[in-house]
Amino acid sequence: MDRFQSGAVHPQEWSRLYRCLLRECSYLPDPVARTHMHSYVVQRFRRYCQPVVKDDLKSDWNRQSRLLRTGKQRLSLLTRANEGYLKPFEKVLRLAYGREGPQRHAWTDKMIESDVPHDNEAVEELMKQPSQFEDGWNPPKIVVELLRSQQGNPNLQQLRHKQPKQLAPVMRKTVWGKDPCLRRRRNIRRTWYTKVKAGLLPPMPDTERATLLGLMSGEIPWNAPARRTKARPTEKVKATEGETVLNKELLLYGPKKGDTFERFSSGRPHVFTLRFMRRSWRRILAMTPHIEWDSPAKRRNIRWEPLREASSLFETLEGDDTIFWTAGDRQATKTVNAEQ
């Protein structure tokens, strides 16, 4: 029996999936997402092309089917994102700009590693702390400050970002009214810290942030990539005069429905315009904190961008209060100017 007929995935299936993924990556309208998703797909396939891993996969058919299902899910995500569905497209942007996925984990670890003491006293205090997750252990200050700042930001709830609700691990008593044992306390702290890290939104590196701001302001030109024209279906052969109008499907299932709103049940596809892209970039920027170190105050300042830009209706010159004048004040001003 052929090896590929006994449960394994045929190599042509992998090559077809690889080409489809790269094609959909090239259609993404965001330049950062286009580059990030392309490198992500290439790295994932190269990871499983190593000689040792490749030999293990040949006999593990369950793992092959799981990887194939994951690849098809990513292909479906990219396809729906390119069609203009809002939720898949926003998920791709979050993956590219480090608001979800492995990019966010890497930037979070980098942020925690950069939290080094600024003076000798802080170094001595750090050396006196117990081991991680033991009694008396405290999480890094930057983690607590960023978590507190996220909980005070109401825009994150509108953006459907899931974040932990507890600022510190809760040590509940046992059913006998006693304090939990040492191992239980250690596991509670580890679980809490893992959930906190999974919900943190790290700051964006300067290069990616400058690119995002440049796209929003128009300094970096944006153009939607041209899609390849779809292949036209072959024309159906016209029925001859001798053929009857009634066919098997009509007799068994009845007449077919017309156009319905079934394909819009999971969202309405959008057209990629500059206005739509700026609104999407604004939502990503609203999920990105800007952390600065205040040397005189010896503390961090965490700033969040607003979710929506202020309307230009209320923009006036500095110190100009003419918008608050009444009709009588305006008429008096016109009279004085006319007399002069």
Give the residue with greater pLDDT, 7 vs 74: 74
Hunting for tokens 């000689």 — which residue is that? 51
Mean pLDDT of 159-164: 84
Give the residue with greater pLDDT, 131 vs 93: 93
Is residue 309 classed as helix, strand or coil in its secondary structure?
coil
pTM above 0.75, yes or no: yes
Hunting for tokens 């993956």 — which residue is that? 95
Determine the distance from the C-alpha atom of residue 7 to the mean position of all C-alpha atoms in its chain, rounded to a whole number. Answer: 35
Q: Band of the pLDDT at 2, cuts 50, 70, 90? A: very low
Q: Band of the pLDDT at 63, cuts 50, 70, 90? A: confident
**Long-range CB contacts (within 8 A, 24+) of 151-154:** 153/304
Whether pLDDT at 207 is above 90? yes
φ, ψ (nearest 5 deg) of residue 88: -60, -40
CB neighbours of 114 closer than 8 A, spacing ≥ 6? none
Q: Band of the pLDDT at 238, cuts 50, 70, 90? A: low
Give the residue with greater pLDDT, 203 vs 313: 203
How much is the pLDDT for 241?
Answer: 46
Is residue 272 classed as helix, strand or coil in its secondary structure?
coil
How much is the pLDDT for 114?
Answer: 77
* Mean pLDDT computed over every residue of the chain: 81
How much is the pLDDT for 174?
Answer: 80
Integer distance in angstroms from the first to the last C-alpha of the chain?
104
How much is the pLDDT for 262?
Answer: 72
pLDDT in tens, 305-338: 988 876 655 555 555 555 444 445 445 444 444 4
pLDDT in tens, 144-157: 999 999 998 888 88
- The domain segmentation of the chain, as residue ranges, is 102-169+180-204+288-333
- Pairwise CA distance, residues 100 & 91, whole Å: 8
Whether pLDDT at 340 is above 60? no
Q: Give the angle subtended at the CA of 109 by the CAs of 45 and 26, to the nearest 5°.
A: 35
Q: What is the dihedral of CA 116, 119, 294, 169, to 10 degrees?
A: 50
How much is the pLDDT for 288?
Answer: 94
- Pairwise CA distance, residues 278 & 215, whole Å: 8
Q: Band of the pLDDT at 119, cuts 50, 70, 90? A: low
- Pairwise CA distance, residues 238 & 224, whole Å: 39
How much is the pLDDT for 15?
Answer: 92
pLDDT in tens, 25-45: 999 999 999 999 999 999 999
Whether pLDDT at 244 is above 60? no
